[in-house]
């Protein structure tokens, strides 16, 4: 636990579950010159049953390799919301998906996909064409998980593509392009040095033109850990309309619950 307090010692609102996750963060360990005190956890496989399509996806986690190889709390909420999606639902999450469906097959871009559970579930449930992205060293596991679930995706018309996308890197953003109907991400706001690159990426995707019209949105699952995160939202609100569209109650081991935000152009109008 000392690792995290050293990284963010001024913060009182710390969730013990996520402190454990952040203890595995390679960056934090390097800053403190410490090795993790716990033994590396072996490979884990997590099954998610998706009720809406009566299918199970399996996700490989490699916890000893760092935070990008584990399932995070906001991902579980995102998958739950996707699993209860129906075009006739009027809740804001479902409405955002229905509005984004401007083509027969929804094209989704996921930022900071980690294990890929959210993008894979979206492809399976929505029959969507999903591009999951992350830093280069995360892509092998991401591809492993995408391939492991291809038999669940295929009958539903879902597809998952894996691509590198480091936030704020112009060349990678240009290579990914803007031809998506919906941008998603879960638990992508945590370290403050990532706020600005993530905002640059969102500006590129949502504000900088291109694409084929319509109000593009970014749906972001988030579990608040640090008070300083308000700095991210303050900056984000200078450029985007940011609406809270879903809120879980606190879980048994956390004072806060996962929330989902919708980011859009400031002048976007939603019915
Ligand atoms: C806390 S994890 C969340 C993973 C996954 N979305 C989930 O909810 O399970 C944050 C993810 O963002 C990725 N990430 C961190 N910095 C990034 C950057 N500069 N560019 C792209 N992805 C980044 C990490 O590799 C990691 O997969």
Sequential DSSP letters for 6-66: HHSTT-----HHHHHHHHT-HHHHHHHT---SSPPP--EEEEEEEGGGTEEEEEEE-GGG-
In a domain, 143, yes or no: yes
In a domain, 113, yes or no: yes
Q: What is the pLDDT of residue 271?
A: 67
Minimum CA distance residue for ligand 1 atom 4:
114
What average pLDDT does this structure show over 140-167?
Answer: 97
Q: What is the pLDDT of residue 267?
A: 86
**pLDDT value at 18 more than 70:** no
In a domain, 61, yes or no: yes
Minimum CA distance residue for ligand 1 atom 16:
194
Q: What 3-state class would DSSP assign to 148?
A: helix
Q: How far apart are CA 125 and CA 2, in angstroms?
A: 41
Number of folded domains in the chain? 1
What average pLDDT does this structure show over 139-166?
Answer: 97
242 Cβ below 6 A of ligand 1: no
**pLDDT value at 9 more than 70:** no
What average pLDDT does this structure show over 89-94?
Answer: 96
CB atoms within 10 A of CB 82: 22
End-to-end CA distance of the chain: 45
- Angle (CA) 210-271-233 rounded to 5° is 65
Burial of 133 (0-12, 13-18, 19+ CB in 10 A): buried
In a domain, 240, yes or no: yes
In a domain, 30, yes or no: no
Percent of the chain at pLDDT exceeding 90: 72
135 Cβ below 6 A of ligand 1: yes
Q: What is the pLDDT of residue 212?
A: 54
Contact predicate 221/227, CB 8 Å: no
What average pLDDT does this structure show over 22-30?
Answer: 39
Q: What 3-state class would DSSP assign to 81?
A: helix
Contact predicate 153/182, CB 8 Å: no
Q: What is the pLDDT of residue 265?
A: 94
* pLDDT, tens digit (0-9, with 9 covering 90-100), for 47-79: 999 999 999 999 999 999 999 999 999 999 999
* pLDDT, tens digit (0-9, with 9 covering 90-100), for 175-229: 999 999 999 999 999 999 999 999 999 999 999 875 555 679 999 999 998 889 9
In a domain, 214, yes or no: yes
What average pLDDT does this structure show over 241-256?
Answer: 88
**pLDDT value at 30 more than 50:** no
Q: How far apart are CA 144 and CA 199, in angstroms?
A: 29
For residue 142, report the distance from its CA to the centre of ligand 1, in Å.
12
Q: What is the pLDDT of residue 220?
A: 98
Contact predicate 167/200, CB 8 Å: yes
In a domain, 177, yes or no: yes
Mutate which of 76, 79, 134, 223 for ligand 1? The one with the most ligand atoms within 8 Å of its CB, which is 134
Half-sphere exposure in the Cβ direction for 23 (13 Å, CA): 16
Give the structural domain span for 82: 42-265
Q: How far apart are CA 146 and CA 153, in angstroms?
A: 9
What's the CATH code of the domain at 256?
Answer: 3.40.50.150
What average pLDDT does this structure show over 132-140?
Answer: 98
Q: What is the pLDDT of residue 11?
A: 38
Q: How far apart are CA 187 and CA 20, in angstroms?
A: 15
Question: What b/e readout covers 188-218, taking b as 16+ CB neighbours within 10 angstroms?
Answer: bbbeeebbeebbbbbebbbeeeeeeeeebbb
Is the Cα torsion angle 141, 45, 41, 249 positive or negative in sign?
A: positive
CB atoms within 10 A of CB 220: 26
Q: How far apart are CA 62 and CA 157, in angstroms?
A: 28
Minimum CA distance residue for ligand 1 atom 21:
166
In a domain, 170, yes or no: yes
Q: Which ligand 1 atom is nearest residue 74's CA?
A: 8
Minimum CA distance residue for ligand 1 atom 2:
68
Q: What is the pLDDT of residue 40?
A: 58
Q: What is the pLDDT confidence band of residue 8, given thresholds at 50, 70 and 90?
A: very low
């Amino acid at each position: 636990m000392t690792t995290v307090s050293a990284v963010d010692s001024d913060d009182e609102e710390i969730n013990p579950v996520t402190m454990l996750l952040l203890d595995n963060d390679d960056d934090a360990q390097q800053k403190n010159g410490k090795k993790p005190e716990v033994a590396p956890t072996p490979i884990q496989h997590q099954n998610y049953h998706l009720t809406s399509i009566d299918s199970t996806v399996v996700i490989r986690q490699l916890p000893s390799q760092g935070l990008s190889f584990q399932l995070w709390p906001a991902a579980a909420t995102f998958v739950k919301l996707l699993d209860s999606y129906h075009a006739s639902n009027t809740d804001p999450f479902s409405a955002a998906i229905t509005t984004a469906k401007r083509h027969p097959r929804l094209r989704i871009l996921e930022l900071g996909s980690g294990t890929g559970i959210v993008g894979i579930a979206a492809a399976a449930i929505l029959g969507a064409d999903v591009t999951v992205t992350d830093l280069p060293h995360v892509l092998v596991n991401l591809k492993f998980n995408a391939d492991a679930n291809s038999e669940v995706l295929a009958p539903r018309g879902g597809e998952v593509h894996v691509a590198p996308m480091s936030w704020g890197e112009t060349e990678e953003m240009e290579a990914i392009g803007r031809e998506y109907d919906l941008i998603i991400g879960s638990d992508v706001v945590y370290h403050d040095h990532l706020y600005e690159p993530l905002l640059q990426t969102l500006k590129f995707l949502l504000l900088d033109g291109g694409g084929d019209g319509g109000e593009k949105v970014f749906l972001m699952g988030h579990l608040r850990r640090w008070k300083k995160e308000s700095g991210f939202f303050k900056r984000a609100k200078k450029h985007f309309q940011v609406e809270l569209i879903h809120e879980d109650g606190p879980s048994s081991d956390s004072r806060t619950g996962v929330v989902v935000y919708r980011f859009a152009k400031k002048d976007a109008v939603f019915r």
